[in-house]
Amino acid sequence: NAGVTQTPKFQVLKTGQSMTLQCAQDMNHNSMYWYRQDPGMGLRLIYYSASEGTTDKGEVPNGYNVSRLNKREFSLRLESAAPSQTSVYFCASSEGPGQRYEQYFGPGTRLTVT
């Protein structure tokens, strides 16, 4: 099992460009998440999908959109990238809601917006 995979690993964008970060999990998990990690800070939730067909905003959703394509895949789109979106992006998944389910993380995507 690959676990949680993310593409690309690295990306450089110019201000105003758009891109989609891809995430897939092969653990048959119901819930998926997108976080960003900025220097000196822990991870902050951007969007999550509790189950296939649903998505909801997290703590820092502005400037992002998501799509839960199917149970396996959850993508994050930046429509018009800004330098403030320079960050490391992590996708995660868990069996379901409820606080005892740990989240499994992908390797991250390092995004730089110039």
Partner 1 sequence: AQKITQTQPGMFVQEKEAVTLDCTYDTSDPSYGLFWYKQPSSGEMIFLIYQGSYDQQNATEGRYSLNFQKARKSANLVISASQLGDSAMYFCAMREGWNSGGSNYKLTFGKGTLLTVNP
Binding residues for partner 1 (CB under 8 A)? 31, 33, 40-45, 48, 50, 56, 58-59, 88, 90, 92, 97-100, 102-108, 110
- At its nearest, how many Å lie between partner 1 and the CB of residue 25? 14
Name the β-bridge partners of 23: 6
Taking the least distance from each CB to partner 1, the nearer of 31 and 85 is 31
User: What are the start-end ranges of the E strands in 38-84?
Assistant: 43-49, 56-57, 64-68, 74-78
CA nearest neighbour of 51 among 67, 36, 66, 29: 29
Distance CA 61, CA 56 (A): 9
**Cβ pair 26, 3 in contact under 8 A:** yes
Least distance to partner 1 from the beta carbon of 18, Å?
Answer: 24
Which CB atom, from 63 or from 108, has the smaller least distance to partner 1? 108
Residue with Cβ nearer partner 1 (9 or 77): 9
**Minimum distance from CB of 99 to partner 1 (Å)?**
3
Identify whether the C-beta of residue 76 lies closer than 8 Å to the C-beta of residue 57.
no
Judged by CB, which is closer to partner 1: 14, or 53?
53
Residue 16 CB, nearest approach to partner 1 (Å): 27
Element (H, E) at 71: none
